[in-house]
Structure 1
Amino acid sequence: MRRAPTTGGGLPGDRVVAPGSVARVLVAATSRALRGDDCGDLGPPVGLSRLVGAPESVRRAAALRAAGRTALTAGQVARIDAERVAGWFADQYPDRRWPGVVLGSPHGAAAHLAVALGVPWLPAGFEVAARWSGGAVDRPDAAYEHGVDLAERLLAANPGVRVRQVHCPASRGGAAGSTVTLAVRWDALPGAYARLLADRLAPAAPVLLLHDARTWPVRDLGAGHSFQVGSPASGLDPVDFHPDARVLDQVLRAAGGDGVRWTPPELTVAAAFAEHGVESGFEHDARAWGDRHHHPLHRVVVRQPDALSAVTADLYRAWLRRAGKTGNRLVVECGRLLDPAQVLRAGLVPYWCENATRPRVAGVEWWLAGSERFSSVDVLPESPGLRSPAVAGLPQWLAVAGFGGRRRALDRGAARGYPVASVPTRRATEVLRNQPCDLPAPPPLRMADALAALRDAGAHQGLLVC
């Protein structure tokens, strides 16, 4: 039986949270897996596959129109109720007693870990896309000015959040010139989360808090709104967004901009946690709640997303083998192309790439080079929908598949039109449904075993568990 949906003022959560944002997809995939469903009903935010052969200018214009249709107006931003959004996330999970919960930064491996543990995964923030009429992809200074007004409206109605604005043509392409991206992070444990923990956690059930510790230069004047140019998810470094950087010219040309006008606002903090970090108030509140109610909180600090992906894949392999399975069939998922339910059904080992950038694909290559060989490797590359000097080419993805012993498969559907054509999340489901069934699934993983594996791997993978 499902709980009644959380009600209240403000826009519905499914209207507020940006379509296709990672946190939204991961909650949908995790909640479905815990109900025994796959992601066959999850489509793309907007599909542009039919425009693969169209000229660059036509595809860019179509992408901008699509982004604008789903983005919020300034008036709608003022009506956001962050508590209602938290309730929308929490209400997606079945109404049952849980042996724990995973909170924090969005990461596909965390979703797979939560499914193996048989527990919900809930994000510490969410992404909002707001309209920017008359915007320009090569004007980060103007984006900042527009974002200040939007953030003031949002913060006036939600004093318990912090807003990080991200202007990144390298990861969002031309859409960075028509919409403003706001990463909204709770500065305290939302009431809807606290209710789920109080009502649905088993006695003494642990809480696992994942914190993405990557840093980025920001402009932060202390009013609850901060601004960053670029993002770790771009596959580039902060220096690549400097006006004199050669890479920046390539990025802006691909997005329809011009480096001559690029004038970022002055930065005030050299190294703050990037957009997917967890606010200290959220962590403090979650720990205090756990202490009061006798639910231990364990914090996992991740300096690079590859580390958690590698440790989770190793953990799955050992978990499958303890259940008498081979643990020798790997699926490399990417971005929104994942399906934890189908991974369990087929007895696969999942490795999640944050995106299709060269550093992230190199991460899985290094892990595979140092791992016991897999008999089969299936690769699902998510097309970023844009061209960037940081995007991995198909030969690099083929090299990943080449680590397979008997089977080496790069999904043709995902590769068709790469890197400019988008494919829906359900594409991963369609591919994985063709894998042989390996049921029953192993008994749920114990949190103590997961924590032991995370701690053991921490010294050489770059994880801190405390």
Structure 2
Amino acid sequence: MQDWLVTGGPPEPERVMAPDSTSRVLLAATSRALRGRDCADLAYLPLLTRFRGAPEPVRRAAVARAGTRAALAPPQVAEVDVEAVARWIVDHYPRRDYPGVVIGSPHGAAVHLATALGVPWLPAGFEISVQWPGGAVDDPARALAHGSRVAPGLLAANPAAIAVRQVHDPAGRGVLAGATLTLFVRWSRLPDAYRGFLRDRLAPATPVLLLRDARTWPVLDAGGGHTFQVGAPGSGLDAAELRCHSDLFDRVLRSVGGDGARWDPPAASCPDAYAEHGIDPGLETSLRDWLAGAGRPLHRVLFTRPDALSAATADVYRLWLRAAGKSGDRAVVECGRQLDPWQVVRAGLVPYWCENATRRSVAGAELWLAGSSAFSSVDVLPDPPGMASPVLAGLPQWRAAASFGRRRGAVDRLAARGYPTSAVPTRHATEVLRNQPYDLPAPQRLRIVDALTGLRDSGTQQGLLIC
């Protein structure tokens, strides 16, 4: 019997880019918005939210099997063509001239900015899920060993084009962390497909906006362009809690079927490396050099807290709406894959995006709402992660965010009904936002110079760096 599933032949790009990844849903949402479409056809259910109602041990086993079926077999990883993936990404967008482009880290605010600007969003990398036969959520050392057998083939097949960051995160991926490996593939030079897009689809002298997640995390350099990371900044835990067996992490590990007594992560060699959603320095250098030769300006936005970019983008939207004669008085708090940038613009809403459903992420939304001029209504769209965990926001915290609505505050009922394990696809956010009153016509396209001014005015004090 084989240890993994092999389908034969190089994997197609749509199978390479992990369907559960944030980048994938953000790419789908942006490309639809630029076509004047909403996300009503995005019916994918994240793996962790499936098999609801089964006894927990049975559900964990079923989710692990589903994750294995969806992941690439280890031999297929060495056949991945990252240029083919870049072409597949670019082909999501209509073939026409654009007034710019947003490139960078996955973040819902990047999608909302791109939609307001009328430009594409191109990710600085993508995520691959790889089968891990006999894996365990509480054995990061064995995850590294398996990754060290898989990653070199991917790097050798795409020489000098990528760097690979392996992440073992039981808090964020639950039982899937014991059934599959997660590889974040980051371009270390500008892909040819991106070069062609910049050359052929941008109007002359139009700018490029680079959004860079500058969060840091302890990392082990496994050599040859392969690095290894235990946990992640968005997990709701600090790096020290994963290494010192904190009570909170032990409870998280038990909630996904692990045992803290077996947890022994490899020591990090780089205590302050950029985390998994960071941009490889080689890509930024390559992009800067190409743009200088083409006479196009580059603007960079760096953030060390995702809530800072969410807050500043929401403030930019409010100013943009009011400049168009609209009230800018209704807010929507989105989360994870629960977003629809086209419906947000159609309804004239001010969008704030939470990275996930952790307490820390929702607290960022509460702080922004508390510090903003009051909104007449606040709609909240939680994204149930598919597992119970002590790091997650409870429904009372989501309701507290909604309570900032002066006349109306609402937490989506369907998401709340089975929270945090219920299954809610992206199209559900579309259905909710379609019920918002129309506020048409949509404002004239936001100019990049105005977006940068707004981000600088609102975000500098929150830690955004615009240069």
State the TM bucket, normalised to the shorter chain.
over 0.9
Q: SS of the counterpart of 2:223?
A: coil
Q: Partner amino acid for 2:235?
A: S
1:321 aligns with 2:307: no
SS at match of 1:298: strand
Corresponding position of 1:295: 296
Name the residue aligned to 1:70. 70
Using the TM superposition, name which of 254-263 and 189-198 deviates more.
254-263
> Counterpart amino acid of 2:24?
R
Q: What's the RMSD between the two structures over aligned residues?
A: 1.2
In the TM superposition, residue 247 of structure 1 has moved relative to its aligned partner by 1.8
**TM-score where L is the length of structure 2:** 0.96
Residues in 2 aligned to 1:407 and 1:50: alpha-carbon distance in whole angstroms: 32
Match of 2:5 in 1: none
Separation of aligned partners in 2, 1:327 and 1:458 = 19
Over residues 111-150 of structure 1, what are the superposed CA-to-partner deviations in whole Å (9 max), with x where a residue is unaligned? 0000000000000000000000100111000000000111
Give the conservation status (yes or no) of the 8 Å contact 2:48–2:387: no
1:248-276: CA deviations, max 9, x gaps? 21111111111111111121011100000
In structure 1, distance between residues paired with 2:219 and 2:47: 32
- Say if 2:49 and 2:385, in contact at 8 Å, map to a contact too: no
Whole-angstrom CA distance in 2 between matches of 1:390 and 1:321? 37
Q: 1:414, 1:427 within 8 Å by CA — same for their partners in 2?
A: no
CA distance in 2 between counterparts of 1:458 and 1:350 reads 15
> Structure 1 counterpart of 2:113, which letter?
L
Q: 1:116 maps to what in 2?
A: 116
Checking the alignment, whether the CA contact within 8 Å between 1:10 and 1:84 is kept in structure 2 is no
Task: Provide the rounded CA distance (Å) in 2 between the counterparts of 1:11 and 1:233.
Answer: 29
Whether 2:419 is the aligned partner of 1:425: answer no
- What amino acid maps onto 1:181 in structure 2? T
Aligned equivalents of 2:126, 2:47: Cα separation in 1:
22
CA contact (8 A) 1:356 1:384 kept: yes
1:436 corresponds to:
437
> Which residue of structure 1 aligns with residue 239 of structure 2?
238
Match of 2:14 in 1: 14
Q: Which residue of 1 aligns with 2:104?
A: 104
1:213 aligned residue = 214
Distance 2:53 2:274 in 1: 39
Q: Quick check: 211-220 or 453-462, which moved more?
A: 453-462
The letter of the residue matching 2:78 is: A
Partner Cα separation in structure 2 for residue 265 and residue 277 of structure 1: 21
What are structure 1's unaligned runs of at least 5 residues? 1-8
- Secondary structure of 2:465's match? strand
| Other-structure match for 1:412 | 413
- Change in CA separation of 1:92 and 1:388 when aligned onto 2, cut-off 3 Å: same
State the Cα distance separating 1:20 from its structure 2 match: 2.2
2:21 counterpart of 1:24: no
Match of 1:362, as an amino acid?
A
**Is 1:155 aligned with 2:164?**
no
Q: Which deviates further from its counterpart, 122-131 or 59-68? A: 59-68
Q: Distance in 2 between matches of 1:408 and 1:200?
A: 42
Q: Deviations over 1:172-226 (max 9, x none)?
A: 0111000000000000010000100000111110000011000000101431000
Pairs within 5 Å for 1:3-402: 10-46=10-46, 51-159=51-159, 160-402=161-403
Report which stretch shifted further, 217-226 or 192-201.
217-226
Q: How far did residue 50 of structure 1 move?
A: 6.8
Partner AA of 1:147 in structure 2: G
Secondary structure at 1:300 match in 2: strand
Distance in 2, matches of 1:269 and 1:387, equals 32
CA contact (8 A) 2:105 2:211 kept: yes
Equivalent position of 1:449 in the other structure: 450
Output the amino acid matched with 2:204: P
Q: Is the 8 A contact 2:11 2:80 kept in 1?
A: yes
In the alignment, is the contact (CA less than 8 A) between 2:252 and 2:391 conserved in 1? no
Give the superposition deviation at 1:58.
2.1
Q: Partner of 2:405: helix, strand, or coil? A: coil
Residue 354 of structure 1: CA displacement? 0.4
Pick closer, same or farther for the CA change 1:46–1:81 going to 2, 3 Å.
same
Separation of aligned partners in 2, 1:69 and 1:221: 27
Gaps (5+ residues) in structure 2?
1-8
Partner Cα separation in structure 2 for residue 49 and residue 72 of structure 1? 20
The alpha-carbon deviation at position 51 of structure 1 amounts to 3.8
Residue by residue over 1:288-344, the C-alpha shift from the partner in whole angstroms, topping out at 9 and shown as x without a partner, is 111110110011101100011001101101101111111001110000010001111
Instruction: Please give the alpha-carbon distance, in whole angstroms, between the structure 2 residues aligned to 1:47 and 1:325.
Output: 40
Describe the superposition over 1:46-91 as per-residue Cα deviations: whole angstroms up to 9, x where unpaired: 4676743332212212211221111000111111111111111100
Mean Cα displacement is larger for which, 449-458 or 340-349? 449-458
Matched residue SS, 1:375: strand
Does the 8 Å contact 1:163/1:184 carry over to 2? Answer: yes
Question: In the alignment, is the contact (CA less than 8 A) between 2:48 and 2:385 conserved in 1?
Answer: no
Q: Contact 1:213/1:301 (CA < 8 Å) preserved in 2?
A: yes
**CA separation in 2, counterparts of 1:375 and 1:18?**
38
TM value normalised by structure 1? 0.96
- What is the Cα deviation at residue 45 of structure 1? 4.2
Task: Quickly say closer, same or farther: Cα 1:144–1:285, change in 2 above 3 A.
Answer: same
CA contact (8 A) 1:19 1:45 kept: no
Distance, in Å, in 1 between the alignment partners of 2:149 and 2:252 is 27
1:219 partner SS: strand
Contact 1:207 1:297 in 2 (8 A): yes
Deviation of 1:386 after TM superposition, in Å, equals 1.4
TM superposition shift of 1:389: 1.7
Q: SS at the partner of 1:407?
A: strand
Q: 448-457 vs 273-282, which deviates more?
A: 448-457
| CA distance, structure 2, for counterparts of residue 215 and residue 363 of structure 1 | 19
C-alpha distance 108-465 of structure 1, shift in aligned 2 (>3 A): same
Which residue identity does 2:126 align to in structure 1?
F
Counterpart in the other structure of 1:4: none
Q: 1:393-442 CA distances to partner (integer Å, 9 max, x unpaired)?
A: 01000000000011111001111211122210111011111111111100
